[in-house]
A = this chain, B = another copy of it.
Amino acid sequence: MHFASDNSGPVHPKVMEALTRANDGYAMGYGNDPLSQDVANRIRTLFEAPDAAVYLVPTGTVANTLALAILCQPFQTIFCSEKAHIHEDECNAPEFYTGGAKLTLVRPGDLMTPDTLRAAIEGEGNRGVHGPKRGPVSITNVTEMGNVYTLGEMTALCAVAQDYGLPVHFDGARFAQACVALGCSPAEMSWKIGVDVAVFGGTKNGCMGVEAVVIFDPAKAEEFEYRRKRAGHLFSKHRYLAAQMDAYLADDLWRDLARDANASAARLRAGLEDLGLEIVNDTQANMIFFRAPMKAHKAAKAAGAAYHYMEPDNLPDEQQVMARLVCDWSCSQAMIDDLLNVLRGAL
């Protein structure tokens, strides 16, 4: 019963096979091997962006923050949700990679709206050099709270950014899960609506550790390359990043794995609702936030279920406590049934 995170599951067998396949003989380092070039081209094709610059890096944190670094000057501020991963879970990495830019939190809540985003932008950049200059807007989809912006909502946020001449960064650690939930193409979810740099995440969807950064303005490519090297994120044995992406792209594996993850979450959600439990978020993706009495969480934990509570866990048995369940591609029906059974027994 492993619902703690979509990074605690195993690597998909096809990704492992691709790694083994790539492990044959010699290959030039630092991305100068044929497979690395091929994978970049296929991502360009997938995004219908023949001129895009495409780079592979090993973690979501560096994918996001290198992307921000080429969009943001040190004296600017980045606009993002107050729940954004770049604010909450990257230990000042955006500040580090940008050389000291600020994050302006769009409030309240997980999902930005054109109004809350506009209010945040209006609140900065009106004090001349005394405050930071307005910088990029960062949008996450699927969000940290498991919500999915519709294409219309993303488009509206990009339009606000455009009103102010600000570039848009898309944190796509769960790009695939959002794309599948929306039934759209990668291009429709990125450059067609005004995204400047998109992260196409693999790590949370069956890969070992690889994210593609897709930069739609190739004039930014050289800066990215220097900044990546300077950060120690240019892999010498780059073919093993490429191999993961090779499998991930082949036959749209990325879509299949995301579809499986989302479907598992949908089944789990339906089961929780049947138990009369409150669902907090409204996503069609792979994360569920729900509330249950503490005693139910305790029973689940005792039975070996792994997931995070949002409150200190020394609360009274009857108190409703929010928790997060995440499904990845490897989540089985048996795991879902087991968890629902344990919770049912405890309620």
Contacts and interface: CB of A to CB of B under 8 A. Distances in A.
A29 B24 CA distance: 29
Interface string A210-242: 000000000000010111111111111100100
A45 interface: no
Given A75-B227, A230-B74, A10 B23 contact: yes
30 contacts: A2-B25, A5-B29, A7-B236, A8-B26, A10-B24, A10-B26, A11-B237, A16-B19, A30-B129, A58-B209, A59-B236, A61-B232, A62-B231, A62-B232, A66-B232, A73-B223, A75-B91, A77-B92, A91-B132, A91-B230, A92-B101, A92-B230, A95-B95, A96-B100, A99-B99, A99-B100, A102-B103, A132-B226, A204-B236, A231-B231
Contacts of A28: 4, 8, 306
A336 to B, nearest CB: 14
A232 B74 contact: no
A127 B92 CA distance: 13
Contact of A91 (B90, B129, B208): B129
A93 interface: yes
Given A26-B10, A209-B240, A227-B75, A234 B95 contact: no
B96 A74 contact: yes
A27 interface: yes
Given A8-B26, A89-B130, A102-B103, 20 more contacts: A2-B26, A10-B26, A11-B23, A16-B23, A59-B236, A61-B229, A61-B234, A62-B232, A65-B232, A74-B230, A75-B227, A88-B131, A90-B229, A90-B232, A91-B229, A91-B230, A95-B101, A96-B100, A204-B236, A231-B232
A133 interface: yes
Given A59-B236, A229-B61, A234-B129, A102 B95 contact: yes
Interface string A132-146: 110000000000000
A262 interface: no
Interface residues of A, number: 73
Contacts of A203: 236-237
- Which of A91, A96, A229 has the most chain B CB atoms closer than 10 A to its own CB? A91
A315 to B, nearest CB: 16
A75 B229 CA distance: 9
Nearest to A88: B131
A20 interface: yes
A172 interface: no
A75 B16 CA distance: 35
A167 interface: no
A232 to B, nearest CB: 3
A11 B236 CA distance: 12
Contacts of A59: 232-236
